Amino acid sequence: MLNGNACVRLAPASDPAYQMAYRRYALQPHESMRDTALECNLLVAHGVSLCKEVYEPILSRISSVRGDAISYEVRNHGDSGVVNAELLEENSDLDAIFYDSVRDTRALINTLRLTKRRPLIGIGHSGGGTLMLCTEIMYPGTFEAIIVIDPILSATAEALPARNSNHTSAADFGDVMANMALHEKRTVVWLNATFTAVGLMRLWAHTLQTHGLRDLEDGTGVALKCTPHQEAMTFLSRMHPMHNVYRRISDIRIPVLFISAEHSELMQVARRPVELLRATAARCRQGRHVMVPNVGHMLPLQDPNAVANVISQFIRDIRRNTTPIQANL
């Protein structure tokens, strides 16, 4: 349950020339769980193209946590992308984008001292899930537990199916997603914030209209905070890491919950995404897998109640079944 509204704040990225935008929400447990709630902080990472506010429906429904939830944007998305716009135009090292996000995540944790008073649990959706896992792999002990929601992973570096193709590579999948982001017919500028979204965008149209757009300087309309170019670069930058993270998943020693969607559109990455995540969880030292029925890749918005219930149960189980987790003092 969210307590009050959270304003947008900025913190330095790993390269202090860049800024990261975040919101800090105060979480209160459900009345029936006040005595059993886990004192912890949550760090929430968004999927590619999305923004930090898209997970408010889940955060408002988590019933077993007392602490803060910090939802942030990587340096080229949302409010971060607006603040960093000039630098992003000057610097576009494709190979660095994903791992910069990992280093930025670590920098944010240190700047906000998220592990000093309470244990920290990482939550990531889609590419944000891959980011949370990679952060723990690169910096072991960052989190006390991780929850990933339909993360983008690949069991192999080759032979990943993409649209209209039976055999293709991870790079080809990246090209497909990047081309979608850069499609010449895709609307980039609107006269106002009223428009009709299609496809997966339908599910977060309200959040997009409220938080995903910026006013043009000349006052002629609005545009996406995350430009199609930066969106495409982000898709392309994650092709190699999504296999690397899968390959090193057994390095993660902490509890990890994999939440998959029964009808995930990630079949463009893996032929059977649910089975892939179930097998990935089995390779983790403390992995668990739960499938949410009747939803697709945007399950945090399609069924926030179901997702929040799974997360709340996982956190209750951590509290009940393990030695009390401690903050890093």
Question: Under CATH, which number does the domain 2-166+239-321 receive?
Answer: 3.40.50.1820
> What pTM did the predictor assign?
0.84
22-66 pLDDT, tens digit each? 999 999 998 888 888 899 999 999 998 889 999 999 999 999 999
190-235 pLDDT, tens digit each? 445 555 555 555 655 666 777 777 777 777 787 787 778 888 888 7
CA distance 171 to 193: 34
Residue-range domain boundaries for the chain:
2-166+239-321
The single-letter code of the amino acid at 166 is N
